[in-house]
Structure 1
Amino acid sequence: MRPPAFWFAPQNAPGIWPRLLAPLSLIWQAASARRNRHGKHARVSVPVICVGNINIGGTGKTPTVIALMALLSEMGKRPHVVSKGYGGQAVGPLLVDEVDHTANDVGDEPLLLAAFGPCWVAKDRLAGARAAIAAGADVLILDDGMQNPDLVKDFTIVVVDAAVGFGNGRVLPAGPLRQTLHSGLAQADMVLSIGPEAGQQHFVQNWPDLKGLPHLRAALEPLETGMLWHDLRAFAFAGIGRPAKFFDTLRGTGAQVVATRSFDDHETLSDALLKRMELEAEGLGAQMVTTEKDAVRLPKSYRHKVITLPVRLQLDAPEALGEIIENVVADRS
């Protein structure tokens, strides 16, 4: 099910639905506050860096986690990721094995992250943190853990899609926010907006007040793999937070995107669904192309039929993030 359009309208845009749904937003906020009060709020023996968002889905958390894993490894640290494993059956704590596990076991994001370093799935984040530390982690990256109250975070990065910003500024179901913007920014130590220059300008114009938080910018750029995308006839499909971003990125490579299919985030890609898309792509003389996150959910019989377009986070000021993270780690050493 696609999110309603009014979620992504600017904060000052008129609309009847956000006002009608406002009472339900208050119920959501009350439930979130109760969950926070009853959380464990435990501090562990190593630094915890949280990558989260105030919006629901589609902001760029996974590429940010991958970039942090690389940055910390370059510092000589042993980072482990702790994830809830959304969409997976494992309760954990379980160290993800990218060869033996499937997305159905552990979720698509942990399976993708495991290709870059140790990643744990744990519905109980504190138990996952302790398991990672016992296995040798000296820094933890908490994936999508901003609203989880079990662990004390040493540094929290709020990731936001620059073009969307914080939408209409309202909490679910009246808007796209998991919590109020005020409470979210109060929990944060940094805001990372992701998107091209036009989106970045839109974000600054519409959300100038970030409560004095450091604000870094980044973009998602295709990874050079030697693939010749120019003039490739592509049948593109994606089940991520905002599939249109992927389609635009693919067009930016020079590929001719002749058809697109959008699915819900984490949606199961069944053999029957893939067969229908395969036949449609063949009829258009096109190659099926998808995202890295969708690719890990493909059945084995389709992995050789679908090309993946990998993207990586490109920071405007990588040295600034490096200095911040180095200080965070040093403060707990």
Structure 2
Amino acid sequence: MHAPRFWTSPNGRRDWRARVLSPLGATYAHMTARRLQKGPRNRMAVPVICVGNINVGGTGKTPTVIAVTEKLRDVFHDPHIVSRGYGGTIINPTEVDPGRHTAAQTGDEPLLLSAFARTWVAKDRVAGAQAAIAAGATAIVLDDGFQDPSLFHDLSLVVVDAETGFGNGYCLPAGPLRERVEKGLRRADILLSIGSDAAQTAFRKNVLPSGLRHISGALTPLQTGMDWTDTPFIAFAGIARPEKFFETLRDLGANILRSEDLADHQKLSPALLSRLETEARSKGAQLVTTEKDAARLPATFRHKVITLPVRLALNDPAELTEALARLPKP
């Protein structure tokens, strides 16, 4: 399922569908606020860094988790990642093993993240954090969980897409928000907006809480030596905003014969993959997808698809490094 366009369109707040659904959005916001009032939160023996968002999906959270783990190593931590494993079947705290687990078991994001740091999935985030600490973690990077009241966050980092911002300002299902922006940002320590210079300029028109640190960055393709200009491609992506992936490919000079946008986290069925493979073969094209989608590919199909990795490039990386360096050492 794709997000409705009125969630992020310039006139989305005036769209009749948003207005009709706005009472349900207000109820959703009230329920989130009540859940967040539960307490007290469980404080861990090591610092917990929450990388979350106020919007649903598509903000650049996964590349941010990768960047945070790398910077924690720079300040002499051994970070482990903890996730609920959205879409996965594993319930109890389990360390992700890409040689043994599939995306159907762990979710696609934890499987991808396990290449960068030891990663745990658990439906109970407290139990997941405790398992990671027992295994030697000196810092926990919480993948999502900003609206979960179970864990105390030593540092909360909220990620937002600078281009779409906070959408039409309504909560689900009238808009893309999990909670009201003003309430969420009051709990945040750092707001990270991700996007182009033009998108950042537009985003800075938002009124942010005084004292909230705001840093910015962009997702940039990882230089792999790949020449994107000499091969025709069939591109597919099942992320929140597939068009951003296709646009990045075109910016690299890729000749995309056709692009197929799938629903976020959509299952890559044998029928779908067979159709894509047949089309690519008939057109003499190469299949290409995102790292997150590649994590959901069957092992027997992965060699048929190449990926375009992207990483977070911060405009002022020192500010995040300094915030992480101030966290307590165990």
Tell me whether the two structures share a fold, i.e. TM-score over 0.5.
yes
Matched with 1:84 is 84
Q: Residue 179 of structure 1: SS of its match in structure 2? A: coil
CA contact (8 A) 1:43 1:151 kept: yes
Q: Residue 293 of structure 1: SS of its match in structure 2? A: helix
Matched with 2:314 is 315
- Give the drift of 1:35: 2.4
Matched with 2:161 is 161
Q: Residue 257 of structure 1: SS of its match in structure 2? A: strand
Matched with 2:122 is 122
- Give the drift of 1:29: 1.9
CA contact (8 A) 2:6 2:12 kept: no
Question: Which structure 2 residues correspond to residues 165-176 of structure 1 after superposition, within 5 A?
Answer: 165-176=165-176
Distance 2:190 2:231 in 1: 39
Distance 1:12 1:213 in 2: 27
Residue 254 of structure 1 pairs with residue 256 of structure 2: no
Question: Which structure 2 residues correspond to residues 122-161 of structure 1 after superposition, within 5 A?
Answer: 122-161=122-161
Matched with 2:304 is 305
* Bigger Cα displacement from structure 2, 26-35 vs 236-245: 26-35
Distance 2:5 2:288 in 1: 26
Question: Which structure 2 residues correspond to residues 71-110 of structure 1 after superposition, within 5 A?
Answer: 71-110=71-110
Residue 270 of structure 1 pairs with residue 269 of structure 2: yes
Query: For each residue in 1:50-69, what CA deviation from the matched residue of structure 2 results, as whole angstroms up to 9, or x when unmatched?
Result: 00000000100000000111
Distance 1:203 1:284 in 2: 41
Change (3 A) 1:312 1:92: same
Q: Residue 300 of structure 2: SS of its match in structure 1? A: helix
- Give the drift of 1:2: 1.1
Query: For each residue in 1:157-208, what CA deviation from the matched residue of structure 2 results, as whole angstroms up to 9, or x when unmatched?
Result: 1100110000011111111000011111011111101111122122123x24
Q: Letter of the 1:165 partner, please give it.
A: G
- Give the drift of 1:92: 2.0
- Give the drift of 1:12: 7.8
CA contact (8 A) 2:75 2:324 kept: no
Q: Letter of the 1:120 partner, please give it.
A: W
CA contact (8 A) 1:69 1:117 kept: yes
Question: Which structure 2 residues correspond to residues 224-303 of structure 1 after superposition, within 5 A?
Answer: 224-303=223-302
Q: TM-score, normalised by structure 1?
A: 0.95
Q: Residue 26 of structure 2: SS of its match in structure 1? A: helix
Distance 1:234 1:40 in 2: 52
Matched with 2:46 is 46
Query: For each residue in 1:253-291, what CA deviation from the matched residue of structure 2 results, as whole angstroms up to 9, or x when unmatched?
Result: 111112111111111101110111111222332211000
Q: TM-score, normalised by structure 2?
A: 0.96
Matched with 2:215 is 216
CA contact (8 A) 2:232 2:285 kept: yes
Distance 2:317 2:231 in 1: 32
Q: Letter of the 1:6 partner, please give it.
A: F
Q: Letter of the 1:201 partner, please give it.
A: T
Q: CA RMSD in A?
A: 1.5
Distance 1:114 1:275 in 2: 28
Q: Residue 215 of structure 2: SS of its match in structure 1? A: strand
Change (3 A) 1:81 1:240: same
Distance 1:77 1:181 in 2: 32
Q: Residue 169 of structure 1: SS of its match in structure 2? A: coil
Q: Letter of the 1:243 partner, please give it.
A: P
Distance 2:210 2:273 in 1: 46
**Structure 1 runs not aligned, ≥5 long:** none
Distance 1:210 1:259 in 2: 43
Q: Letter of the 2:220 partner, please give it.
A: E
- Give the drift of 1:11: 7.3
Change (3 A) 1:158 1:146: same
CA contact (8 A) 2:62 2:109 kept: yes
CA contact (8 A) 1:185 1:211 kept: no
* Bigger Cα displacement from structure 2, 95-104 vs 35-44: 35-44
Distance 1:285 1:197 in 2: 36
